[in-house]
């Protein structure tokens, strides 16, 4: 049975990866300090004999007893609301955390997969973005704490591959959505859905003309697993090239909710990328991966999750108020 460590395993993506690796016959060790992750995301796995949880900050020395075959490094704040609130922690987990995880991979002879991001391309000057593009990043801007942490993590990963012969993989993750995103995540889909469901104004930044490409979580996890099992060392974009504007997305979610919420416009955040769409040629040719979940289907599944989540939160608040 392969033995795998997932750092950040209690997060949105990490928890789905825990499930996928267990389904593929792996023993999974989930490591998380629960700063942005949640034990609720993995609670259903606690009774599984092939699942183990360690609460730990990976910027400190990582100890795992026994052999490891795979290390998937997903520990990091990932939404702007988180990394703007936790800038130093974001830089530390991208640098010190990656260093500790790579050191463990070297010691255990494990294959190491880094969760990088489309943010390494910054506010891109080419469209769509392919893996050879070096990016357009403001290193001292407010978003630089996340962008540069991931760019450093990629450089460190390749250094360990070249100089220590660590078997490495790098996935550049584009915008992903699905169940287990936090209501207060701050990213567009959770924000639009929670606002539409609660009757609040739906807030769109700028004129809403900036674009994103959104990928359903099961498709992303499938691409990551295929990359993990491949022999592809160079970075690979994983994301759905289905591109739409933020205003189009807001309207689509409002209609899905049957909401009467007003769409309102707010100033565009500093350094917010104007376009974002992956060139997925490398994933298609080398991994034989393509997304399969239609956006409307994925949004409906995610909407159902948020509706139940918000219903539970309202019910819990009511119980608390009456006690």
Q: Which residues does the annotation mark as catalytic?
A: 146
Q: Which of 28, 89, 31 is nearest to 62 (CA)?
A: 31
Contacts of 237 (CB under 8 A, 6+ apart): 118, 129, 130, 131, 172, 174, 278, 279, 280, 282, 283
DSSP string across 188-240: HHHHHHHHHHHTPPEEEETTS--EEE-EEHHHHHHHHHHHHTS---S-EEES-
In whole angstroms, give the CA distance from residue 22 to residue 136: 38
CA angle 246, 247, 250 (to 5 degrees): 85
Tokens found for residue 127: 């469209």
Contact 256, 299 (CB under 8 A): yes
- Give how far Cα 58 sits from Cα of 31, 99, 294, Å: 8, 9, 36
- Give how far Cα 166 sits from Cα of 203, 241, 304, 307, 317, Å: 45, 31, 42, 44, 49
- Give how far Cα 320 sits from Cα of 39, 182, 315, 316, 323, Å: 21, 21, 9, 6, 5
Question: Looking at residue 174, what DSSP letter applies?
Answer: P
Tokens found for residue 296: 């409307």
In whole angstroms, give the CA distance from residue 88 to residue 65: 29
In whole angstroms, give the CA distance from residue 169 to residue 115: 9
């Amino acid at each position: 049975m392969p033995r795998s460590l997932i750092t950040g395993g209690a997060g949105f993506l990490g928890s789905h990866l825990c499930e996928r690796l267990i389904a593929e016959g792996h023993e999974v060790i989930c490591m998380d300090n629960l700063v942005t992750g949640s034990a609720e995301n993995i609670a259903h796995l606690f009774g599984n004999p092939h699942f183990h949880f360690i609460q730990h900050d990976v910027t400190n020395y990582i100890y795992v007893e026994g052999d490891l075959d795979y290390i998937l490094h997903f520990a990091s704040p990932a939404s702007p609301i988180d990394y703007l609130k936790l800038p130093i922690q974001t830089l530390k987990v991208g640098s010190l955390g990656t260093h500790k995880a790579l050191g463990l991979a070297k010691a255990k002879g494990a294959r190491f997969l880094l969760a990088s991001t489309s943010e390494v391309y910054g506010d891109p000057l080419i469209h769509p973005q392919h893996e050879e593009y070096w990016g357009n990043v403001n290193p001292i801007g407010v978003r630089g704490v996340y962008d540069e942490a991931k760019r450093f993590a990629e450089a460190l990963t390749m250094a360990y591959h070249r100089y220590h012969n660590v078997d490495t993989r790098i996935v550049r993750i584009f915008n992903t959505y699905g169940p287990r995103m936090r209501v207060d995540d701050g990213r567009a889909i959770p924000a639009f859905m929670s606002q539409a469901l609660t009757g609040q104004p739906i807030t769109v930044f700028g004129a809403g003309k900036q674009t994103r490409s959104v990928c359903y979580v099961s498709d992303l996890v499938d691409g990551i697993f295929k990359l993990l099992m491949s022999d592809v060392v160079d970075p690979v974009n994983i994301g759905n090239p289905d591109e739409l504007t933020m205003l189009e997305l807001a309207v689509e979610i409002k209609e899905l909710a049957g909401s009467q919420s007003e769409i309102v416009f707010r100033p565009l955040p500093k350094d917010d990328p104007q376009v974002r769409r992956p060139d997925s040629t490398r994933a298609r040719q080398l991994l034989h991966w393509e997304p399969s979940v239609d956006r409307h289907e994925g949004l409906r599944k995610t909407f159902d999750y948020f509706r139940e989540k918000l219903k539970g939160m309202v019910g819990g608040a009511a119980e608390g108020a009456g006690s």
